[in-house]
Amino acid sequence: TSPTRPPPLPLKKKHMFQSVAYSVMAYMEMFGNCSQPNTSEYLRHSVHTYSLLQAEWQQHELTLSSTQSCSFTHHSTPSPDMRSVSPSPALERLDTPPALPPKQRDRQNSAATSPPSVSPVPAPLKEVEEKVRPGASTGARLVLPLTPTPNGSQLAPDSPLDMLDVTQLLVLKKTDEEGPDIRGGHPDALIIHATKANKNDFLYQEAFLTTYRTFLTPLDLIGKLCRRHERFSRSSNTAKQRAAREAFSLLVRVVSDLTMSDFEQTVIQMLTDFVYQLLCSGDLVMAKALRVKILEKYNNKRLYNVTSTLLPSQNVYTRQASLLDFKSEHIAEQMTLLDSELFMKIEIPEVLIWAQEQNEERSPNLTRFTEHFNKMSYWARSRILEQADAKDRERYVVKYIKIMKHLRKINNFNSYLALLSALDSAPIRRLEWQKHITEGLKEYCALIDSSSSFRAYRQALADTQPPCIPYIGLVLQDLTFVHIGNSDFLSEGVINFSKRWQQFNIVENMKRFKKGMYSFKKSERIIAFFSNFDEFLCEEAMWQISESIKPRGSKKVVQ
């Protein structure tokens, strides 16, 4: 073997990202962390976000008068396209993402048995009334198991679910404060207020539906809505009949928004039992409407379980192709198709759950998306280091830079940053490169400069319209900061909903990019060449090759 050539390549490390926690954390930390944002600035941002979203909602309210999927309800539900109002560019300008909490390594509970980390027992009604009055002490944090109401049992006489008006159980903003009206409340009161959505508090219902899993399981929420409907549906009182319809209307939305991991057997059983009760009581229209939603979710989950990711036909092309054989634009398009498929499968609750629990079973799509990013980055590094000749390595670096230009043009920030992280990785960066390459990389790295709170990236994202694939590592960091920096409760049994407003504002920015789809044609040959980005070297092998090319201690020559 020639002494000028690198040593033979070791086998790739197949299970490098087998640890899901490692995979996601590696994705989040790919470009480093930065200091925590100023708390007052973060609150100001949330208030500004709410105001902008509310203004845009009012601007579009005439378009939201479309027929509700359940014709019996007294108010309309927004169409799918309008459930997430696109934020303005100002929404992206957070100050800084947070430092990350330590990894939670050992999780023994499966998704089916693992409850949310916050499950409060509603305090007795009189105690809650005292706690939510102005001047009540705040900051107490109590985490207790939630006791669901057994099916068919009578609710406690003082249960908020029996009440038509729960205003006294809500914490409202002060008259001189800006932003959303609801700052907190008894969990059942928050549920009931969400059933009363209209044009004035549409955003509250959206925020509730997005974040309720942080203090309530879907099973518990469905159970409470079913029981509120049962309690009032047979009454002759007009107000109670309206409350029953409102509860059912929200129930349909909850079912429609269930994630794949939410749709467990216990949830299916509760819903089918409720449909049966509706049929027995003669509510055929309601029973049909809910049954349609249940079947949609069931079929979607079945298709999800059997649908494979975007892979090439087996053995159609040989594996002798080189990166240089393909046009940079075409490679960027195929990378984007792979990214887009994985990104579209991420369900927003997964992102909230990861920031709160780091639970792999409850964030499967997020895990696959971040693992794909990590593998692509290591795959790109490996292809460069495989080249024995310095000129060939340089050709590959230039090729990746051209691909990145096309990725940026089509708004694929995820693959763009995966390749950037490869070119800026230590085993690659320490080697000797032409000056035009190093200067060019400095310009690309400015996009993800953490010293200015990733301001350049946030602004670029704010200026981008769908379709777009964002790098969601900053979303995860922002959510983590909000989670660890804010109490879950204002006082015992009183949920801190201001925290949920902040979480909602962060993920709402991510949701808007799910509205656009890429129309590129799939290339079997390029997809086969990628081979799912599984062919990469482990970290130790990369350093071994890098140091064989340029031994430690040797001076770097600027060419």
pLDDT, one tens digit per residue, over 466-517 is 999 999 999 999 999 999 999 999 999 999 999 999 999 999 888 999 988 9
- Domain extents in the chain: 160-307, 322-468+516-549
**More confidently predicted of 336 and 114:** 336
Tell me: domain 322-468+516-549, CATH 1.10.840.10, correct? yes
pLDDT at 107 (0 to 100) = 41
CB-CB contact of 350 with 366 (8 Å): yes
Selection from 415, 234, 277 nearest residue 333 by Cα:
415
Answer yes or no: is pLDDT of 418 > 50.
yes
Selection from 423, 334, 420 nearest residue 382 by Cα:
423
**Confidence band, pLDDT 50/70/90 cuts, at residue 307:** low
What average pLDDT does range 31-50 have in this prediction? Answer: 53
CB-CB contact of 30 with 380 (8 Å): no
Highest mean pLDDT among 145-149, 216-220, 438-442, 554-558: 216-220
Residue 185 backbone dihedrals phi, psi, to 5 degrees: 160, 170
In whole angstroms, give the CA distance from residue 308 to residue 504: 31
Mean pLDDT (the chain) is: 79
Answer yes or no: is pLDDT of 93 > 90.
no
Helix (H) or strand (E) holding 525: helix 524-530
In whole angstroms, give the CA distance from residue 228 to residue 464: 43
For residue 10, whether the previous peptide bond is cis, meaning omega lies within 30 degrees of 0, is no
pLDDT at 201 (0 to 100) = 76
**Confidence band, pLDDT 50/70/90 cuts, at residue 303:** confident
The fold of 160-307 is Son of sevenless (SoS) protein; Chain S, domain 1 (1.20.870)
Q: What is the pTM of this model?
A: 0.74
Answer yes or no: is pLDDT of 281 > 50.
yes
Answer yes or no: is pLDDT of 55 > 80.
no
Q: In angstroms, what CA-CA distances link 510 with 4, 113, 264, 431?
A: 48, 28, 26, 37
In whole angstroms, give the CA distance from residue 81 to residue 93: 24
**Confidence band, pLDDT 50/70/90 cuts, at residue 450:** confident
Contacts of 419 (CB under 8 A, 6+ apart): 376, 377, 380, 400, 403, 404, 407
Answer yes or no: is pLDDT of 309 > 80.
no
pLDDT at 143 (0 to 100) = 35
Through-space distance between the first and last CA atoms of the chain, rounded to whole angstroms: 28
Calculated CA dihedral for residues 203, 208, 214, 217, nearest 10 degrees: -160
Answer yes or no: is pLDDT of 111 > 50.
no
Q: Which residue has the tokens 């049962």?
A: 230
Lowest mean pLDDT among 107-116, 177-186, 372-381: 107-116
What average pLDDT does range 191-218 have in this prediction? Answer: 91
pLDDT at 411 (0 to 100) = 96
Lowest mean pLDDT among 129-138, 427-436, 477-486, 511-520: 129-138
Read off the pLDDT of residues 220-273 as tens digits, 9 standing for 90 and up. 999 999 999 999 999 999 999 999 999 999 999 999 999 988 999 999 999 999
Answer yes or no: is pLDDT of 202 > 90.
no
> Which residues are bridge partners to 171 per DSSP?
184
In whole angstroms, give the CA distance from residue 523 to residue 539: 30
At residue 86's C-alpha, the angle toward residues 84 and 89, to 5°, is 150
* Residue 496, helix vs strand vs coil: strand
> What distance lies between CA 149 and its chain's CA centroid?
30
Instruction: Report the b/e string of 497-535 with b at 16+ CB within 10 A.
Output: bbbbbbbbbbbbbbbbbbeeebeeeebeebbbbbebbeb
In whole angstroms, give the CA distance from residue 415 to residue 317: 24
**More confidently predicted of 188 and 179:** 188
